[in-house]
Structure 1
């Protein structure tokens, strides 16, 4: 009996079946964006669960991108395809109230706020790093794919990524600095060049 396809392949099949390849998104379709976000996370040497979360990060919709190809009631279906750890990261990203969460994400006592319920909780350091890295990969892919977005939102995006800088990998910081023209300043110091 042949081995099952890798989780990323199964996820792409699911996303295609759910219509992600027919939803417009900067740089092409939602599916193309999701694939690029996973590739960027892989380039940054993110662990497999975070890469899979990047591939499916908009499956439930997000605060900034409402179309959802899979409702929150179907979380178990996504978990079967990408695993429970990756699905939990997708859920964390999808239900995040960004305005309430991002300003304090770098603080150990920072609060994470769910946008639908207003429920607050603390995140582990790993969860805060994952959320920051996934945010950076998503936003930087859009900035790379859409020059108008980059021109319009570049300063705001750089300010966000500078705020999240202590949680970002050196590779993510380097990509942000290169794409957005940052100086590599901020709480974590200069960016280290990525391999």
Structure 2
């Protein structure tokens, strides 16, 4: 856990400068959710740029959160974020922000087939979001971390009904991503959605 602290604290001032501490996100601020997402991605042993993307994944808005921010996103804002977190992390954040959730599901079904490729769509334009299979797996890691970060540590917080709403799909994602994602899923979700780890 100690190794997770420098990354989160190192970017806190930048997140505050971008206004993440002022945006409400369910029962907390957006910055709290972003930091928890980053820590979950670190538990999943994701690459550093994916963990950094977790810290910034809401700064442009998403389909579910402040979608109008992405509609009018100035190119200068992308340049600012790219300078802060690097090209790979910013590309991931931008793809996360503009993707349609329907195309995420279709792309997962595609990549689970031999030779299948992701087919993500930009929800603003309907155009394609170019992405390799490896980049799509990073996007899945980011979104899984985001989903797991919505499971509150305190029962006084609003809770997602994972079993009824999202369970089967995100179980499939965790299994697709491998042992570290499955372990993190089981630690946070458990219960009826527990995944039996594969034994080698």
Q: Relative to 1, partners in 2 of residues 1:56 and 1:192: Cα closer, same or farther, differing over 3 Å?
A: farther
Q: CA deviation at 1:165?
A: 3.4
Q: Where do residues 4-83 of structure 1 align in structure 2 (5 Å cutoff)?
A: 9=9, 11-66=11-66, 68=69, 71-73=73-75, 74-83=77-86
Name the structure 1 match of 2:96: 93
Q: Where do residues 143-182 of structure 1 align in structure 2 (5 Å cutoff)?
A: 143-145=151-153, 148-151=158-161, 153-178=162-187, 179=189, 181=191, 182=193
Give 3-state SS (helix, strand or coil) of 2:46's partner.
coil
Indicate which of 132, 135, 138 corresponds to 2:140: 132
CA contact (8 A) 1:11 1:56 kept: no
Give 3-state SS (helix, strand or coil) of 1:88's partner.
helix
**Structure 2-normalised TM-score?**
0.78
Q: CA deviation at 1:122?
A: 5.2
Q: Relative to 1, partners in 2 of residues 1:168 and 1:120: Cα closer, same or farther, differing over 3 Å?
A: same
Name the structure 1 match of 2:3: none
Cα deviations across residues 127-155 of structure 1 (Å, max 9, x unaligned)? 1111111111001111235754323x443
CA contact (8 A) 1:174 1:192 kept: no
Q: CA deviation at 1:175?
A: 2.8
Name the structure 1 match of 2:125: 117
Q: CA deviation at 1:57?
A: 0.4
**Which runs of 5 or more residues in structure 2 are unaligned?**
1-5
Q: Relative to 1, partners in 2 of residues 1:90 and 1:7: Cα closer, same or farther, differing over 3 Å?
A: same
Aligned residues: 182
Q: CA deviation at 1:54?
A: 0.4
Q: CA deviation at 1:103?
A: 2.8
| CA-based RMSD | 2.7
Cα deviations across residues 85-128 of structure 1 (Å, max 9, x unaligned)? 10001011111111122233251223111111111255312111
Distance (whole Å) between structure 2 residues aligned to residue 35 and residue 128 of structure 1? 22
Q: CA deviation at 1:8?
A: 5.3
